[in-house]
Amino acid sequence: MSVEALAAAIWRALDLLARVRADAEHVAGLLGEARDAYAAVLYGANDPEAKQLPVSASQAAEAATAVHGPLRTVDESLRAYLHELGATGRDPTTPPRRPDPTPAPAPTAPGVPAPDGSRYPTEAAWCVDMLPCRVRAGQPSTAPWASPTAVSCH
């Protein structure tokens, strides 16, 4: 295999590594959302297996995040090898590397979501549907006791 062909193969591997890192970040975010959903739905459950679901989702999210270090090491090693080969530029026959995707959304605040979109502490999961909605400025209230100029919670 020629140096040029080897460099092109390494560039393809680097592109794939970048995609894998982005996908792992996305997966970690989704697992965090699943953990929050499990915690809200299963709060107060007596089933020990059900109580384990949020913990398992957290562990899976941590595992998805933990893959970044080893992938970064592989990336650095491949780039060092390219440098040793003297092939520091991208092979013109290889398509340019896809830009890193938008970072995964920041993890949501701890707690459980309320129907109005606000969040309450996890301890309140059992009664979140009964709690009054949070006040949101600039919107008319739909509560029957509110004045027409009151702010809405929906």
Read off the pLDDT of residues 16-52 as tens digits, 9 standing for 90 and up.
Answer: 999 999 999 999 989 888 888 888 888 777 888 887 8
100 DSSP 8-state letter:
P
Residue 104: its pLDDT value, please? 56
Tokens 């893959």 correspond to what residue?
67
- pLDDT tens column, 125-153: 777 777 766 655 555 555 555 555 544 45
Q: Which of 133, 127, 137 is nearest to 115 (CA)?
A: 133
- pLDDT tens column, 62-119: 888 898 899 999 999 999 998 888 875 664 444 445 555 555 555 555 677 777 777 7
Confidence of residue 154 (pLDDT cuts 50, 70, 90): very low
Domain ranges of the chain: 1-97, 110-154
Distance of alpha carbon 112 from alpha carbon 122, whole angstroms: 6
The continuous run of DSSP H or E covering 152 comes out as strand 151-152
Residue 147: its pLDDT value, please? 52
Distance of alpha carbon 131 from alpha carbon 126, whole angstroms: 10
Residue 70: its pLDDT value, please? 92
Please provide residue 131's backbone torsions phi and psi, each rounded to the nearest 5 degrees: -70, 150
Strand partners, 113: 119
User: What is the value of pTM for the model shown?
Assistant: 0.51
CA dihedral 44, 46, 47, 53 (to 10 degrees): 20
Residue 151: its pLDDT value, please? 46
Residue 152: its pLDDT value, please? 47
